[in-house]
A = this chain, B = another copy of it.
Amino acid sequence: MADIAAHLGVSRQLVSIVLRDMPGASSETRTRVMQAAHELGYRPHIGARTLRQAKSRHIGVAFAPAHATEPDIVAAIYPAAAEHGYQVVLSAQTPTRSTLQAVDELLGYRCAAVIILGTDLTDKELRALAKRVTVPVVVVGAGNRNAAFDVVRSAGDTGIELAVRHLVELGHRQISYVHGAAMPPGALRLEGYLRAVADAGLDSDVVTTTGGDFTEEAGANAGRQLLGRSVLPTAVVTGNDQQAVGLMFILARAGVAIPGQVSVTGFDDSRLASLSSVDLTTARQDPQQMGEAAVSAAVRRIDRPALRPSLSVVEPSLIVRSSAARHA
């Protein structure tokens, strides 16, 4: 910065004013400074800036690169944060790097708030973490309203209800459900299924998989279980898209026509779902809205820390594709 000032023969603080886009400089010098900065390849030193500034202008995001839906939420967080005047700092949770480590690093950058995406920590562990941390914590994915941290999640129950109602309207009466018992959002989605089949006056049929997670593997496992029965259901609702794809693959390989013999639905509207080879009817969990809600929650509590942590529920919508069809 001193270089630019020297180069232009002006004061450092004028340069600072221009680069921060503050009032107090003529538009002529503005352009001169900007051009000189560009020519000299100047980048503001983020560390020095955060060191000097009283309040942090950074929001930290701890995410698991390997998960399916998080990339889109991360992508959505960037513009949402920018809109509130915040920069984003990323920190990865990997098999060798726990959520705690990831959050610790974010704290080292003096983030004003921390957003945690898809952690495998339990509610209790999260509460402990939030208490230890002195900045607002927003957990995205699952959870209930609590005093320790903000929660952003989709309405998993109504998403599954939408899928079941859609199948009922298509004339299905035997609708099974693949349950992700081990996943935090799983319980809520199961609730939705049970409520919806009860409302329609149908019997419930919950398939619990080994592992009980939201993987293609679990869906394949459920598929094998169903194939071992004497009679298949006419429709299967799954807890997420990955399960649905694993299930569809196993059924297709066994010669079961989809949706001819069995209709299948998913949850998330991930990239998998829109593949022409899959073309999955699914409850869309809008990553855009999730990202925006997470940033909003973070900013709200940065501005007013005394506020009670919020719960933001994003309503899913049903995306109708060809994997579910009218029952013959």
CB–CB B253/A46 < 8 A: no
Nearest B residue to A134 via CB reads B41
Collect the chain B residues with CB atoms within 8 Å of residue A278's CB. Answer: 216, 249
Is A276 a contact of B217 with CB atoms below 8 Å?
A: yes
**In the bound complex, do residue A51 and residue B47 qualify as a contact, i.e. CB atoms below 8 Å apart?**
yes
Q: Which residues of B contact A216 (CB under 8 A)?
A: 272, 275, 277-278
Question: Could you tell me which residues of chain A, from 87 to 145, have a CB within 8 Å of some CB in chain B?
Answer: 87-88, 90-92, 94-97, 104-105, 107-110, 132, 134
Please pick, from B44, B90, B255, the residue contacting A91 in the complex, using a CB distance under 8 A: B90
Tell which of B46, B74, B255, B276 touches A65, judged by Cβ atoms closer than 8 Å: B74
Interface of chain A residues 269 through 309 with chain B (CB within 8 A): 271-272, 275-278
Indicate how many identical chains form the complex: 2
A233 contacts partner chain B, Cβ-Cβ < 8 Å: no
Flag if B253 contacts A255 (CB, 8 Å): no
Contacts of A43 in B (CB 8 A): 104, 107-108
A184 within 8 Å of B by Cβ? no
Complex interface residues of chain A between 229 and 259 (CB less than 8 A to chain B): 246, 249-250, 252-253, 255, 258
- B78-A217 in contact (CB<8A): no
State how many angstroms separate the Cβ of A214 from the closest Cβ of chain B.
13
Given A92-B78, A96-B78, answer yes or no on A220-B66 (Cβ-Cβ < 8 Å): no
* Chain B contacts for A20, CB-based, 8 A: none
Structural contact, A277 and B96, CB atoms closer than 8 A:
no
In the assembled complex, A315 has its CB within 8 A of some CB on chain B: no
A22 close to B (CB within 8 Å): no
Instruction: Give the contacting residue for A47; candidates B47, B95, B275; CB below 8 A.
Output: B47
**What are 29 A-B contacts defined by CB distance under 8 Å?**
A41-B134, A43-B104, A45-B51, A46-B108, A47-B49, A47-B51, A47-B109, A47-B110, A48-B51, A63-B65, A65-B70, A65-B71, A65-B75, A66-B72, A74-B92, A74-B94, A75-B92, A75-B95, A79-B96, A88-B92, A90-B91, A215-B275, A216-B272, A216-B275, A216-B277, A220-B275, A220-B277, A221-B276, A253-B277
- A interface, CB within 8 angstroms of B: 41, 43-51, 63, 65-66, 70-72, 74-75, 78-79, 87-88, 90-92, 94-97, 104-105, 107-110, 132, 134, 215-217, 219-221, 223, 246, 249-250, 252-253, 255, 258, 271-272, 275-278
Other A-B pairs, 16, CB within 8 Å; known A66-B271, A75-B94, A90-B90: A41-B134, A43-B107, A44-B108, A45-B51, A45-B110, A46-B47, A65-B65, A65-B75, A66-B72, A66-B75, A74-B92, A78-B96, A90-B91, A216-B272, A220-B277, A249-B277
